[in-house]
Amino acid sequence: MTGDQYVPPKAGAGEWVKLSLGQAGVDPDKLASAIAYAEAHESPWPRDLEDAGNVPGLTQIEPAPWNEVLGPLKPRGGPAGLVLRGGKIAASWGDPGRIDMTFSIAKSYLAVLTGVAVGDGLIKDIDAPVADTVNISKFQGPQNGRVTWRHLLTQTSEWTGTLFDKPDQVDHFRDVGANGDNSRKGQKRELAAPGEFWEYNDVRVNVLSLALLHTFKRPLPGVLKERLMDPIGASDGWQWHGYRNSEVSIEGQPMISVPGGTHWGGGMWIDSYDHARFALLIARGGAWGDVQLVDSAWIKQMRTPIDIYPAYGFLWWLNTNGAHYPQAPESSFFALGAGANLIWIDPPRDIVAVFRWIDQAHIDGLLGHVTAALGVG
């Protein structure tokens, strides 16, 4: 990437440039229709999850004690969004400045942090067992001792055990589709060898986060702030919460391990502008202006389909053959969190978008409206 591409100023230090409709190549009527669609298809989730005492489709359907919420929750906002073209704001709605829960979008941040560790030489080989880098009991034994960094990044690790009182079994047979069948969720199944079975499993992602904590030997929120969020001019308002029982000791120092989502509370709380900055960094191959913050080869690797499930990369959802969202270009890729919260990136068309609290069943419809407004064929 070259420094002649627009990057927004540091949060609070200037105005993020907004495109006129003519500049963006946007059809104003279709854009208004897209915004109306987003606002008309708000998430069915209650506004106050803390008051509800559960997370719909997750702790709501899990038996005790697996359903115990371990981290903080907060009232959610309403539908909100940002659409960028060439890094400049083409559209916005709702309150994109609201700091809100983001659920599993945090997984995609973990993938990028893994790339930072690789770039720093802290992880020598992502196809080597994690145990070669991280000497803890969680990566010992005939099953877990074979788990590699690639397995964890692709949700194929088949890691087994209990972490912070949550067993991997809690997400066996989990179906994360908009109309997913979770009637068997939590039923124990026979494990495959690491790398031979794909399953969306929050406990195993939290094991990746713990492994990264041991690798950096620093709390991950601090690493993220120093290496990525501050350099891209993010605000100081975002937070990454752990669980009340996720403190570990590393070289005698207590540190909180943060989760890759908000399944049991905690997780990343962030506004849409900061999400959009992060997405723009990824869309531009890890570069921010003239500064390469993440190796472009790593960004490419994150977006490479895995053989066992071509619609997934390294904790990013891929639109291979229109698998997830037929109305979005196949070149698109996504960070997706329950609720639903979505980061959409389409590098060939220089599009970045952030959607907050859209009914998951209507994400594809919203993408169709936005692509029509932007003249994307």
Q: Is residue 231 part of a domain?
A: yes
Burial classification of residue 63, based on how many CB atoms lie within 10 Å of its CB (0-12 exposed, 13-18 middle, 19 or more buried) = exposed
Q: What is the mean pLDDT of residues 5-21?
A: 91
| Residue 91 in this model has a pLDDT that exceeds 50 | yes
Q: Is residue 220 part of a domain?
A: yes
pLDDT (0 to 100) of residue 178 = 66
pLDDT tens digits, 120-162? 999 999 999 999 999 999 999 999 999 999 999 999 999 999 9
Q: Is residue 61 part of a domain?
A: no
Return the higher-pLDDT residue of 1 and 336.
Answer: 336
State the average pLDDT for the chain.
Answer: 95
| Residue 5 in this model has a pLDDT that exceeds 70 | yes
pLDDT tens digits, 345-362? 999 999 999 999 999 999
| Residue 66 in this model has a pLDDT that exceeds 70 | yes
| Residue 58 in this model has a pLDDT that exceeds 90 | no
Q: Is residue 66 part of a domain?
A: no
Q: What is the mean pLDDT of residues 205-211?
A: 98
Q: Is residue 157 part of a domain?
A: yes
Q: How confident is the model at residue 170 (pLDDT cuts 50, 70, 90)?
A: very high
pLDDT (0 to 100) of residue 270 = 98
Q: How confident is the model at residue 1 (pLDDT cuts 50, 70, 90)?
A: very low
Q: The domain containing residue 283 runs over which residues?
A: 98-338
pLDDT tens digits, 280-330? 999 999 999 999 999 999 999 999 999 999 999 999 999 999 999 999 999
Give the number of domains in the chain.
Answer: 1
pLDDT (0 to 100) of residue 139 = 98
| Residue 20 in this model has a pLDDT that exceeds 50 | yes
Share of the chain above pLDDT 70, in %: 98
Q: Is residue 267 part of a domain?
A: yes
Instruction: Report the C-alpha gap between 308 and 122 in whole angstroms.
Output: 27
Instruction: Report the C-alpha gap between 294 and 231 in whole angstroms.
Output: 11
pLDDT (0 to 100) of residue 179 = 74
| Residue 3 in this model has a pLDDT that exceeds 60 | no
CATH number at residue 112: 3.40.710.10
Q: How confident is the model at residue 238 (pLDDT cuts 50, 70, 90)?
A: very high
Task: Tell how many helices (H) and how many strands (E) occur in the chain.
Answer: 10, 15
Which residue blocks in the chain are alpha helix, DSSP H?
A: 21-24, 28-40, 49-52, 105-119, 149-153, 202-216, 220-224, 272-283, 296-302, 363-373
Q: Which token pair is 270?
A: 């962030």
| Residue 2 in this model has a pLDDT that exceeds 60 | no
Q: Is residue 75 part of a domain?
A: no
Q: Is residue 33 part of a domain?
A: no
| Residue 335 in this model has a pLDDT that exceeds 90 | yes
Give Cα 321 to chain centroid, integer Å. 21
